[in-house]
Structure 1
Amino acid sequence: MKNEIVDIALKNLQIATGIEGKWYNTVTLNDRLKLDGELNLEINKDNYLFTVDVKNEVRPHQLHQIELYHKDYDDFLLIANHIFPRVKEALQQKGIPYLEANGNIFLKRDKVYLFVNDQKTIDIEKVQVNRAFTRTGLKVLFYLLQHKEDINLTQRELAKNANVALGNIPQIIKGLQETKYLLPLNRREYLWENRKGLLERWITEYATTLKPTLRKEKYVYNGDWKEIKLNNKITVWGGEPAADILTNYLRPERFTIYTRENRIDLMRNYKLKPNTDGDIEVLEMFWQQNENQLTAPAILVYADLLLEGGKRNNETAEIIYNEYIQPNL
């Protein structure tokens, strides 16, 4: 899919500007790059080489990671099937070059300035749904992102631990192999590859596929949120309050609760009042919670912060990633 996006983008770039490009993916480069490949563009008879990250759609919550790539690689270029207008504006403001599949391009490098923004959005035919990134698949990946060694459990044990039906596991493993996040070591064992990339993919798919199905209701609470004593086996803080608990760095303005309790329980046990404009969003808990833990797992708190966005949230997300996620990723 990524190679197809690049091929179409280069074809449309040539039509729009006359500029030709040559693509080298990580396979041809012997996997020496952490990103997807290198692109050489010939502009006014000069050659410009870029380190490339390829995505399908680019949404606001992915900006933080793209900024990090831009810092890590002086020659960074983003190629995507579609970039949302808000994101394009942010990329332009930050001087991060991009190329869309329709031929739209933004590039400032040396004496070169290219800006094309009038090409119509195109639809690249969607490939068959990868079962690793369905609602059930995302629940299993959420578990595996926290317990990487469990990929080598029996499929029955993995299904039990992730709380899904056994029949889903073979297709999820197949999906991870197809996307190169999982490599077969032998008939029964696997090795992980690019788990940070998998985490990024999980956050993107969680935002569009799983999270919308978890929403219950919004509430208000008349008092200090820290006074609320949650039953941590079935109800925990997520998002900004969880980040405050984990880092003592963020003062929450928006509140997230994950729970298995119903509306009556939430009202009776925690004095929450339903309100469509409330600042407490309640979502369904979709994992098995450790009752000694006050917050949702760090990976989910990290995702919540990136999806909410904002400078302070991004800074706090980076702290959580470095302290709680990266050591075990």
Structure 2
Amino acid sequence: MNKMAVIEQALDAAMPVLQGKVLILRGAKVNGVDATVQLGWQGRDLGPFAVQVRPVEHNSLLWYRMEKEPKGPQQLKEPKRSQWLLITSYVPPNLALECQRTGINFLDTAGNVHLDLPGVHVFITGKPRPKAPRTPSDQSALRKASTLRVIFALLTVEGLAQQPVRAIAEAAGAALGSASNAIEELAALGFIAGEARQRRLANRETLQREWARQYPISLRGKLKPQRYTPVQSDWQESSLLTDEPEVALGGEVAAAAITGYINPASACIYSWMERGQLLRKHRLRPDPDGPVEVLDAFWRRADQEDATVRVPAAAPLLLVYADLMASNEGRSVEVAGMVLERLKNGA
């Protein structure tokens, strides 16, 4: 049981009635206490609660009820019995009634609550057991195009992991259900830690490398990649690369702009513009051996409200890195290492 996740989920579930935050989370129990939380009710501060996190079954309440006050060195001031709080995944109705009868205060992750304090009595029961989290046995989830979209958004949009799932879905261009499933799968694989307000990415560098490895396999082909040749002879002077705000540069042409280390042999372009309009505007003709490859952009433009933008910008570093690695060309792989270093350093 991930105790921090259970505490955060229970506090979130109780939000319509209570306001709570974690004051102290202990790596190991001290005097029987897993954490200390602060609770409020109708604008009233109910004071800190000493929390024990454990599963609740038919026999566990008796043990909990009979447990004596903490022993040993008094690293914490012992709470009054009423200030102890049991936090657990789920308390079924029959055991909730038992808690009410015997004076055990609790919160669970479904939103069931019992608090019996001087001047305060809150008792909510009957909310159904939350669905068990999905636990994939391998990383097959990372081979889904929708999950790759969500991962890309989480890795490239600052603070997005702490936003509601609906905001994550919108940023990723994914359906709400797909985004929700992706977050569950990433949490099960250890790439997301915490719940809701405290959600954060974990093992970030591993996730970046895995995304770059899976991108050409599961997502790139869905972006309608096609090669073209500009009507003008010098493709590097095409207005598509020099004066088009509706595109972003990927691959070698982006790496050249970022590092100045490589002379691009071809151009990779991600476009938000409708393909036919793009071809007409920049006079591109289909050519399987052409030097310009165009793909549909799959992320939200950060500058889409900025009317001052008039030249193409490089795609996010993660995507540039993935493009370079997918080429399997020695010079591209070499410069990919430089891009990866910038990515690690947040450049």
Task: Please give the TM-score of this superposition, normalised by the length of structure 1.
Answer: 0.56
SS in 1 for 2:333: helix
Partner of residue 235, structure 1: 247
Partner of residue 205, structure 1: 214
Map 1:1-329; keep pairs closer than 5 Å: 130-184=140-194, 186=195, 188-221=197-230, 222-230=232-240, 232-291=244-303, 292=309, 294-323=313-342, 325-328=343-346
Cα contact 2:163–2:196 (8 A) shared by 1:
no
**CA-atom RMSD, angstroms?**
2.4
**Separation (CA, whole Å) in 2 of partners of 1:140 and 1:191:** 14
Cα contact 1:232–1:294 (8 A) shared by 2:
no
Partner of residue 59, structure 1: none
**Separation (CA, whole Å) in 2 of partners of 1:242 and 1:223:** 21
**Separation (CA, whole Å) in 1 of partners of 2:258 and 2:220:** 22
- CA shift at 1:306, angstroms? 0.8
- CA shift at 1:225, angstroms? 3.2
Cα contact 2:235–2:291 (8 A) shared by 1:
no
- CA shift at 1:232, angstroms? 4.5
TM-aligned CA distance change 1:145 to 1:224, over 3 Å:
same
- CA shift at 1:277, angstroms? 2.2
SS in 1 for 2:264: coil
SS in 2 for 1:290: coil
Q: In terms of Rg, which structure is larger? A: 2
Gap runs ≥5 in structure 2: 1-135, 304-308
Using the aligned pairs only, state the percent identity.
Answer: 29
TM-aligned CA distance change 1:215 to 1:127, over 3 Å:
farther
- CA shift at 1:233, angstroms? 4.2
- CA shift at 1:187, angstroms? 5.6
Cα contact 2:272–2:296 (8 A) shared by 1:
yes
- CA shift at 1:259, angstroms? 1.3
Cα contact 2:325–2:333 (8 A) shared by 1:
yes
Partner of residue 104, structure 1: none
**Separation (CA, whole Å) in 1 of partners of 2:283 and 2:258:** 24
**Separation (CA, whole Å) in 2 of partners of 1:276 and 1:159:** 34
**Aligned residue identity for 2:191:** Y
User: Deviations for 1:25-79, whole angstroms, at most 9, x for unmatched residues?
Assistant: xxxxxxxxxxxxxxxxxxxxxxxxxxxxxxxxxxxxxxxxxxxxxxxxxxxxxxx
- CA shift at 1:127, angstroms? 5.6
**Separation (CA, whole Å) in 2 of partners of 1:182 and 1:149:** 13
Task: Please give the TM-score of this superposition, normalised by the length of structure 2.
Answer: 0.53
Cα contact 1:234–1:285 (8 A) shared by 2:
no
TM-aligned CA distance change 1:216 to 1:262, over 3 Å:
farther
Partner of residue 101, structure 1: none
